[in-house]
Amino acid sequence: MKDTEMTDLSDGETGEMQTLEAELARAKSLSVESLADAIESIGFECTRCGACCTAHHEEESKNQTTDADTHHKSGSEPAQTTDNTPIESNGSETETHTATATTESSRIGHDAKIDAHDRTQTAHNLDKENRADAATQSPTTEPHTATIFPDEVRELQTAVDEMKNERTDTNTQSSTEWRDVARPMPYGLDNDNTTGTTFEWALQTDACGNCVFYEETDGIGSCQAHDNRPLICATYPFSVALGGTSQPMGEAVDEAGMVRAHECEGLGREITRDRAEELAATLRTRAIRELEEAISLRDTYEPPGSTDGIVVHDSEGAKRPDGTPIDDQ
């Protein structure tokens, strides 16, 4: 199948759509070597600018998209950030999940007879509306938003606890809670994020809207969970053109084969073959994982009952904002 013939879960007639299972089979058949070839042809080197770790401002986002596209197409080196603050990027980025997208509780699951495929399509289409609404409600700044799966949340909880213990002589530090690592994906929630139904989790953010694991000391920033960062972070700015996989916010600014490259000032720079293959292997793992999570979410999803507050649907079922399961009503 040619790239131009690929059909996203939200596009085309129902009979032409790829099922999640078919897309999973395609993901598993991806060649790491071919993905590496594509990444190498596009080129990438992290400039440690920190844009993928922090809140996004409308004007900055527009400028970054234009710069990344212009510099890559011209073959010149991308410009540095205005303050040239060096940071170790964690590679995360605002993104949306095409198969497990967010929606309003009043507009999804209204018919118990709706089949899983239609339910997934409906959720995706409504996510587009929710994202447009969010952009309208917050015209200047949008908090850093990157999907993190349940297992990744628990892995980060463990990693943070270990880091705490390494910094102290005793184990008196309180355990890292789910909320310390993840928050409900905001799309589908009300304006103050206190009620609503949503899908999946996003990395937690601080008061400035930056990833909670981003820190800056003496003008130097870094990701404090770099070795345990989620797959979406480890593979940014790349994605694979498969239905049911997540795509960073904004249109792709470059592509090669199945690989799409999203706005980043590091695009177009020389990349070693070893690094390209490392990224390709992780990108393939991410594509498989995202589709497995999407299938599990689809299969476990049940329309929300009368639960007050926020309900988060992930691959393990319905949960409260603190990550605890919601018992069947």
Q: What is the pLDDT of residues 236-292, one digit of tens each?
A: 999 999 877 776 666 799 999 999 999 998 999 999 999 999 999 999 999 999 999
Q: In angstroms, rounded to a whole number, what is the distance separating the alpha carbons of residues 299 and 214? A: 35
Tokens representing 264 are 């980043």
Strand partners for 202? 147, 183
Percent of the chain whose predicted confidence (pLDDT) is above 70: 65
Beta carbons of 221 and 87 less than 8 angstroms apart: yes
Structural domain contains residue 329: no
Enclosing domain of residue 69: 3-319
Report the DSSP beta bridge partners of residue 56. 142
SS3 label, residue 183: strand
List of residues 6+ apart from 208 with CB closer than 8 A: 54, 55
Q: Cα-atom radius of gyration of the chain, to the nearest Å? A: 20
pLDDT of residue 59: 59
136 three-class SS: helix
pLDDT > 60? residue 209: yes
- Determine how many CB atoms are found less than 10 A away from the CB of residue 194: 11
- Confidence class of residue 86 from pLDDT cuts 50, 70 and 90? very low
Q: Tell me the range of 23-37, 39-53, 105-119, 247-261 where mean pLDDT is highest.
A: 23-37
Q: Which residue has the tokens 């070893």?
A: 274
Q: Is residue 324 part of a domain?
A: no
pLDDT, greater one: 41 or 136? 41
Q: How confident is the model at residue 166 (pLDDT cuts 50, 70, 90)?
A: confident
If you write DSSP's letter for every residue of 252-320 in order, what string do you get? -SEEETTEEE-S-TTBTS---HHHHHHHHHHHHHHHHHHHHHHHHHHHH-----S--SEEEEETTEEE-
Distance, in Å, from the CA atom of 58 to the CA atom of 162, rounded to the nearest integer, reads 37
Q: Can you give the pTM of this predicted structure?
A: 0.71
Within a domain: 119: yes
How remote is the C-alpha of 137 from its chain's centroid?
Answer: 21
Strands (DSSP E) along the chain, which ranges?
56-57, 87-88, 95-97, 141-142, 147-148, 182-184, 196-199, 201-203, 214-217, 220-223, 238-240, 246-248, 254-256, 259-261, 310-314, 317-319
Residue 33 has pLDDT above 80, yes or no: yes
**pLDDT value, residue 250:** 63
Strands of the 317-319 sheet, one edge to the other: 196-199, 310-314, 317-319
Average pLDDT over residues 82-88: 36
pLDDT of residue 306: 74
- Of 49 and 3, the structure prediction assigns the larger pLDDT to 49
Query: Residue 325 falls within a domain, yes or no?
Result: no
Who has greater pLDDT, 308 or 90? 308
- The answer to whether position 326 is within a domain reads no
Residue 170 lies in a domain: yes
Find where tokens 């498989």 sit. 288
Is residue 18 helix, strand or coil? coil
pLDDT band per the 50, 70, 90 thresholds, residue 215: confident
Instruction: Examine residue 327 and state whether it is found in any structural domain, yes or no.
Output: no
CA distance 84 to 76: 18
Between CA 60 and CA 84 the distance in angstroms is: 15
Mean pLDDT within 182-194:
89
Segment 207-233 shows an average pLDDT of: 87
Task: State the total domains in the chain.
Answer: 1
Question: Would the pLDDT of 329 be above 70?
Answer: no
* Residue 31 forms part of a structural domain: yes
3-state secondary structure of 233: helix
* Model confidence at 65: pLDDT above 50: no
pLDDT at 206 over 90: yes
